[in-house]
Chains A and B, each alone.
Chain A
Amino acid sequence: MTRASTWRRFRREPLGMGALIVLALLVFTAVAAPLLADYPSGYGDTVLTPPSGAHWFGTDSLGLDVYAEVVWGAQQSLLVAAAASLIAILFGTFLAVVGAYFRRLDALVSVIVDLTLSLPILPLMILVAALVGPSTMTIILVIAAFSWPEVTRVVRSQALAVVRLPYVDAARLMTSSPVWIITRHVVPAVMPLILVSVVLTASRAVLSAAGLAFLGLGDPNTWSWGRILYEAQQAGAMSTAWWLPLFPSLAIFLLVLAATLISTAYNDARNPRRSKA
């Protein structure tokens, strides 16, 4: 199973490629936000107007351009998702790999992971966010704190398999430094899984962040997709100004859909047996 053959198979899958393009577009929007729209601030004179030539996505309850809000919101939403998933993945992978390598730690790690995965985390995220107060850092840390067990669970099973492989045993004979073995052998072997995890965790993070923002626990000083939805809800506009909830919901939808399709296609490309009966 080489990287090249995986990529070849991936490229043949139209869903996966399409999703990759969509994801790239969203990332581009986030990065190029300053070039695409002016930062929405202050107020506008036409309040809650439907999409038109002047305002492609319509205006919100303060007369601001919704297109600009979605574009700048992409920056914040993707930033939060990326940061949260990065932390979750670094921490989660670290624990998974360490646990797989050091048998004694493994029991503890797997117990904590199982227990955390048995808990309804959204209420817990809400409790923490409410306690600490809404800010970008809080949201990132809260989401990361409850996303890492899923990563650990997925990576751990693969890491355990890798650790038992003969070449790792051979490596153990050559050097007594666990760090070297872990970074040189175990981590690269679980890398594909980590990649998939990145994408999936990030997309789930977007949904969690939007949910928290909708409840009023998001950062009130920056534009995010969740904040557009929150403002729509507060203004009583969700059913009367359809463009206001539509575009941010669409953006979230596209991001999560693309992410999931990419990871499914990638998994199928890596392991063709799994996709056919």
Chain B
Amino acid sequence: MSLFLFVLRRFGRGLLTIWFAVTVTFLMLRLLPGDPALAIASPNMTPEIRAGLLTQYGLDEPLPVQYVKYLGQLLRGNLGVSFSQGVDVTDALMAQLPWTLLLVGAALVVTVILGIPLGVLAAAKAGGVLDRVVQIVAVTGQSLFVPSVGILLLYVFGLQLGWFPIGGAYTDGTYGGEWYLSVVAHLVLPCLSLVLVQLGAYVLTVRSTLIEALGEDYVTLARANGLPHRRVLWKHALRNALLPTTTLIGLQICLYLVGGVILIETVYAYPGIGRGIYDAVVRLDFPVLQGAFLLLAVVVVVVNMITDIVYGLLDPRVKAS
């Protein structure tokens, strides 16, 4: 299949996923018990604003008409008006998005940098003691309750040792180079919390994929040809094992991280979308909750699309056309 078609298919699939997320949200609000108007217009709003919103979303009209109006609003980039903040949801979320991207991105990078060597180590010495240790550590991470880990890290490294600042995304009052450094300093602990909790899954996947790859015929063939074990491991098996895990990076980790990000940003007072979700939950600010979910779905889809395309570029089977 040609590269162009490949990209087109991935793009199409991404759009389909976003459409699915949108439709699920729409149906959820209309089909769950309760007045859907309550999810769009806060009781605090003045009657005129309420009436305006209800017409905008066509809540008194038949379901298909509502759906069309809803899609129309989304296409215009209108995610509704926040109950608690009185601003457009889009504006509120867009201001928070960069910080979440930074946090999730950093966690992603660290996970990969740490995960590959650990997974390879475990696979190379599969069945042995080192393998067991890596497995246990990996599974341990997955079983942790994120907010508890967050507070613990803050307490030990922030308060007791004083190595890192507590709360916020940067130190106020710093500029230029100093500001960038403060951003990094504030990023370490939340990033570490995220990595700890989900590194395990990545390591285990790398390990199992590599074990299967090492059992493949071409590897046996390479060994039979007398290639040294190490070279076989790194050059052949790893390259083939890495390709599927690249896809895995895009999707599984992203999803896991997005879930953990909500709790982490709350504990670390990090001003990202996860925080926005927490504030919205406390105030039952439904437009923000909806908008955040849709935005996060879009982010995940986009990242997934990019990594799939990168995968396509790397995979010789796709390139050859």
Confirm or deny: B292 has a beta carbon within 8 angstroms of a beta carbon on chain A: yes
Of B52-60, B187-195, B206-214, the segment with at least 4 beta carbons within 8 Å of chain A is B206-214
Pick the residue among A118, A233, A274, A275 that contacts B17 (CB under 8 A): A118
B68 to chain A, nearest CB (A): 21
Confirm or deny: A42 has a beta carbon within 8 angstroms of a beta carbon on chain B: no
Measured CA separation A121–B139 after assembly (Å): 21
B-side contacts of A215, CB under 8 Å: 262-263, 278, 281
Measured CA separation A237–B140 after assembly (Å): 25
The answer on a CB contact under 8 Å between B143 and A214 is no
Confirm or deny: B7 has a beta carbon within 8 angstroms of a beta carbon on chain A: no
The answer on a CB contact under 8 Å between B293 and A127 is yes
Measured CA separation A130–B282 after assembly (Å): 9
Known interface pairs A131-B34, A132-B34, A277-B127; A253-B144 also in contact (CB < 8 Å):
yes
Confirm or deny: B304 has a beta carbon within 8 angstroms of a beta carbon on chain A: yes
Known interface pairs A123-B258, A264-B139, A273-B215; A214-B32 also in contact (CB < 8 Å):
no
The answer on a CB contact under 8 Å between A274 and B32 is no
Measured CA separation A119–B254 after assembly (Å): 10
The answer on a CB contact under 8 Å between A256 and B143 is yes
B-side contacts of A254, CB under 8 Å: 143
B-side contacts of A257, CB under 8 Å: 139-140, 143
Contact string, A194-228, partner B, CB cutoff 8 A, digits 1/0?
Answer: 00000000010001001100111100000000000
B-side contacts of A132, CB under 8 Å: 32-34
Q: Name A's interface SS.
A: helix
Confirm or deny: B126 has a beta carbon within 8 angstroms of a beta carbon on chain A: yes
Known interface pairs A118-B300, A119-B297, A128-B28; A233-B144 also in contact (CB < 8 Å):
no
The answer on a CB contact under 8 Å between A123 and B292 is yes
B153 to chain A, nearest CB (A): 11
Measured CA separation A228–B155 after assembly (Å): 20
A213 to chain B, nearest CB (A): 11
B-side contacts of A166, CB under 8 Å: none
Pick the residue among B159, B258, B284 that contacts A120 (CB under 8 A): B258
The answer on a CB contact under 8 Å between B262 and A123 is yes
The answer on a CB contact under 8 Å between A211 and B155 is no
Among B159, B214, B263, residue most surrounded by chain A Cβ atoms (within 10 Å): B263
Task: List, sorted by A's number, 29 A–B pairs whose CB atoms are closer than 8 Å.
Answer: A15-B136, A115-B17, A117-B255, A120-B254, A120-B255, A120-B258, A120-B297, A122-B258, A123-B258, A123-B277, A123-B292, A124-B293, A127-B25, A127-B289, A130-B281, A132-B32, A203-B143, A215-B278, A216-B282, A238-B147, A239-B151, A239-B155, A249-B144, A249-B145, A253-B140, A253-B145, A256-B142, A276-B126, A276-B127
B residues bordering A, Cβ < 8 Å? Answer: 16-17, 20-21, 24-25, 28-29, 32-34, 39, 123-124, 126-127, 132, 135-136, 139-140, 142-148, 151, 154-155, 159, 208, 211-212, 214-215, 251, 254-255, 258-259, 262-263, 277-278, 281-282, 284, 286, 289-290, 292-293, 296-297, 300-301, 304
Kindly list 15 other residue pairs between chains A and B, CB separation below 8 angstroms, not including A126-B262, A127-B28, A257-B139. Answer: A115-B16, A115-B17, A118-B17, A120-B300, A123-B259, A131-B32, A211-B145, A211-B146, A211-B259, A215-B262, A229-B148, A253-B143, A273-B215, A275-B211, A277-B126
